[in-house]
Structure 1
């Protein structure tokens, strides 16, 4: 053994011996005091010799165990799971075995069949191994905890009590499931899909050659750790913006999440891949129609906060004549699908209506996961239950959506397309209302 190693070993032995001697001296003093108390109690008729001997043997046993620990010779005893045991009967015996589809829909926002299909899709990303310290939650239970938390404004503690787990487990489940949904399902479910079906759907609603409607909505959040003032919107609360393009059925086809609430919708839009694709003519197929004497590509519809572009139609503002009012009516009727989509999204996943109590870096992931779940529910035909909207409106009243300043940016070609559409609607040559 090297001299340095020998010195270290000797010092370790000396330190261990000193600790043991100090502990034994402390225990001896305690035992002496205990004997005096017990002798007095016995003489007074309060305690027997047998009680005193039992207490003494216990204290000696504890001392011997402490000495073994100090010497690094821990006895081989059975290790027990350290986590607090809680009841899971409600989940195992009631929810999984007794609840019908209406109860699943009310509490998890989807029927049991859809829930199990979701779990199968997420299983490769969520499956965990048991350890010697604790048994891993099943994929089904982890997904159920996350959906329950997203669907309610309940605290982590309340959700944990419901499922028989700790509140930290609830928080971990929400982030794990949201990450898995984003990684596995985002590109599959939030996608453009059949463009011709979308165009036909909007045409039936009154607007020709339309590929979607765009808008932004503010999600309340806690005070951010950094750059807090950037997140204060025009209504005075902290928020993060979700900007989305939806199809004629109110399903998200493109989303952008994470911009601070103070940022204008037009600025967010100009910094998205959606804007670049539309500007370059690569997002939609090159499918043009002729309106009057003007060629019109596939367009999207926005409110006055967006720029008027050849591929983005927005309403007229100011004093309007009859033809402009008719144009605005047609556009508004079709653009309502995005507002309805946001309303259904938040009514299903009510955690988006109150301040999201998660870290700033995880908020976009959770919002994205809710959008994916919205599309899943819509594509599976999951019922939107009576009462959800009223409850959502009650919760949303504390965080009203801020008004967005209108902008007057317009390209000359876009003005010509809008004028041609206005004329065609007025003369009855456009799509019927």
Structure 2
């Protein structure tokens, strides 16, 4: 069966040509910048949207669940991916194994002294600021409100991602191999979405 003289298989093949081309194009390989100047540009964007003008927010961070079918043992051997934790695991455990966490541990934000803003799934550290737990009123509650005001940018980034690519809102179809899933959802998603959360770009 064809539509407009194009078969379904030909249309699907063209999708994978585009996915593969995007993954091979260095210009689309967005990651959190190493440059202090670029990091400061991100911080300036967050300061502009912050009612209290937080000057130390170098980005916001959160987790997203991509719903895939359990790969076969053969798929797992062929794929360059480590599935360490299941979907029920916390964002913190996933973050602990991410490339971004390794870069942060090596001093990614040390020069600028910026921090990422994360929710209470993460731990406060030299590069991570989280809300105060169990607050009800007062200065700490006010801080939490303004912290949330800039942190919501990553949630919006996820929202735009799944709105644009509807396949990410559902289980990956059975016919899509783990290799194709990785091609559609880059394993460096943490870095990419930190980049997407840049304000004003």
Give your verdict on TM over 0.5. Answer: yes
Q: CA deviation at 1:285?
A: 5.6
How many residues are paired up?
A: 177
Point out where structure 2 has 5 or more consecutive residues left out of the alignment. 74-80
| Aligned with 1:328 (options 105, 127, 144) | 144
Q: 1:257 to 1:333 in 2, by over 3 A?
A: farther
Provide the C-alpha distance between the structure 1 equivalents of 2:82 and 2:155, rounded to a whole number of angstroms: 16
Q: CA deviation at 1:257?
A: 9.7
Aligned to 1:316: 132
Matched, 1:182 2:23: yes
| Kept in 1: contact 2:23–2:29 (CA 8 A) | no
Q: CA deviation at 1:188?
A: 4.2
Point out where structure 1 has 5 or more consecutive residues left out of the alignment. 1-85, 87-160, 228-255, 288-296, 382-433
| Aligned with 1:199 (options 43, 67, 86) | 43
| Kept in 2: contact 1:220–1:355 (CA 8 A) | yes
| Aligned with 1:262 (options 74, 88, 92) | 88
Aligned to 1:286: 111
| Kept in 2: contact 1:257–1:364 (CA 8 A) | no
Query: Radius of gyration: which is bigger?
Result: 1
Which has the higher relative contact order, 1 or 2, with Cα contacts under 8 A spaced 6 or more apart?
2
| Kept in 2: contact 1:308–1:314 (CA 8 A) | yes
3-state SS in 1 of match to 2:185: helix
User: TM-score normalized by structure 1?
Assistant: 0.37
Comparing 354-363 with 329-338, which one deviates more in the overlay? 354-363
User: TM-score normalized by structure 2?
Assistant: 0.74
3-state SS in 2 of match to 1:224: coil
Which has a greater percent of helix? 1
Q: 1:188 to 1:345 in 2, by over 3 A?
A: closer
| Aligned with 2:57 (options 191, 210, 218) | 210
Q: CA deviation at 1:213?
A: 0.5
Provide the C-alpha distance between the structure 1 equivalents of 2:109 and 2:134, rounded to a whole number of angstroms: 31
